[in-house]
Amino acid sequence: MARPRRVTVRDIAAETGMSIATVSRALNHHSTVTPATRALVHEAAERLRAEAGASSRARRGTVFVRCPYILTDYFGLIVSSIAETLSLHGRQLVLTAGEAAARTPLLSDLRGRDGVAGVIVILPPEPGEDLLELQRQRLPFVVVDPRTALPRDIVSVSAAHFAGARKLTAHLVELGHRRIGVIGGPTEWLVSDARLAGHNAALADVGVLQSAELLRAVEPTTERGYRAAGELLDLPDRPTALVAFNDKAAVGALRAAAERGLRVPEDLSVTGFDDLDLAQATGLTTVRQPLQEMGRMAVTLLARLMDEHELDALHVELATELVVRTSTAPPPPQRPRTAPGA
């Protein structure tokens, strides 16, 4: 069991604004120190000892994990790895997830919970002001997969979305694709911006600019992916490949292609992102996110914060991996254009 941090003369001097020498004389009941000064020093010392004790008890408390989403394969993998790693650290977990968590703002969800030593929040929908308020409360916390850009001094862990998307589109470019449709995520999400930037960078490497007509921004669901893919495939000059920034959206794209009689990958290449079980089941080329490692890293960073260690790396990005399966191939031969009036 951790002992409370020892309160030093330097701590008391900083608290009272007095010199170290004056504090030392007051603590040793030197005759040159007035009773009022001695009282102020002893009050500050007691207050700091109480705070140090409370901090020590808090560091031994539970960890509150908040995931305001249904624990499907994506979020379930992250939460499971957090729970397993906390157990290895001898920590108890308090979890709130799903619709109940989504209806309750983070700060309200924390209010009244005693004995919380630290917090892990997963893809928090709250505005940055709420996270700054949590920081002002001096409660250690880590953000997993932040939805929006965070201040520099808020600790986070995520996947290397830019690099993963760039590698994925580079794979399609190497196969010969140039007209690539994108089924992206919500425009207000940080991850969507990073993946689109990576995609655009891979196209720029071969002198291609992303066409606005080939871009759709949708919620990451199978149905939304199906609709977006349908719009792209119904263009007069349809794309030869579709990049979906989510495996579920990619599966929707496979359905849209099948309904139009398009073979994958002979007529159309389709890719995803995440490498969920359904990607493996459908032979989908995708980018594997280290979801379980993200959970483990979040616990490691939080443990260091709770132990008051200094962190140099505050925004940690974990490497992704391109997984090539059977849904990508070179584009089909260019269809000959029919002469007018023929």
Residue 271 shares a structural domain with residue 186: yes
Distances (CA, A) of 173 to 54, 139, 211, 240: 57, 47, 15, 11
Per-residue confidence band for 335, with pLDDT thresholds at 50, 70 and 90 = low
**What is the dihedral sign for C-alpha 191, 192, 197, 203?**
positive
Reported as a single tens digit per residue, the pLDDT across 105-130 is 888 888 878 889 999 999 998 877 88
How many other CB atoms are there within 10 angstroms of residue 23's CB atom?
Answer: 25
Residue 277 shares a structural domain with residue 298: no
In our burial notation (b when 16+ CB lie closer than 10 A, e otherwise), range 298-333 reads bbebbbebbeeeeeeeeebbeebebbebebbbebee
Domain membership flag for residue 225 = yes
pLDDT at 338 over 50: no
Residue 129 shares a structural domain with residue 106: yes
Residue 255 shares a structural domain with residue 165: yes
pLDDT at 5 over 80: no
Overall domain count for the chain: 3
Phi, then psi, of 288 in degrees rounded to 5: -85, 120
**Worst-scoring range by mean pLDDT, 52-61, 162-171, 330-339?**
52-61
pLDDT at 281 over 60: yes
Residue 297 shares a structural domain with residue 155: yes
Residue 170 shares a structural domain with residue 312: no
Distances (CA, A) of 148 to 59, 128, 140, 167, 261: 28, 8, 19, 23, 39
Residue 228 shares a structural domain with residue 303: no
pLDDT at 93 over 70: yes
What residue numbers bound the domain in which 236 lies? 161-288
Residue 21 shares a structural domain with residue 110: no
pLDDT at 57 over 80: no
Residue 281 shares a structural domain with residue 300: no
Reported as a single tens digit per residue, the pLDDT across 243-268 is 999 999 999 999 999 999 999 999 99
pLDDT at 334 over 50: yes
What pLDDT does 340 receive? 45
| Residue 121 belongs to domain with CATH number | 3.40.50.2300
β-pairing, 321-323 vs 286-288, is: antiparallel
How many other CB atoms are there within 10 angstroms of residue 212's CB atom?
Answer: 6
CB 291 within 8 A of CB 73: no
Question: Regarding predicted confidence, which is higher, 179 or 13?
Answer: 179
Residue 15 shares a structural domain with residue 52: yes
| Residue 30 belongs to domain with CATH number | 1.10.260
- Burial of residue 196 (number of CB atoms within 10 Å: 0-12, 13-18, 19+): buried
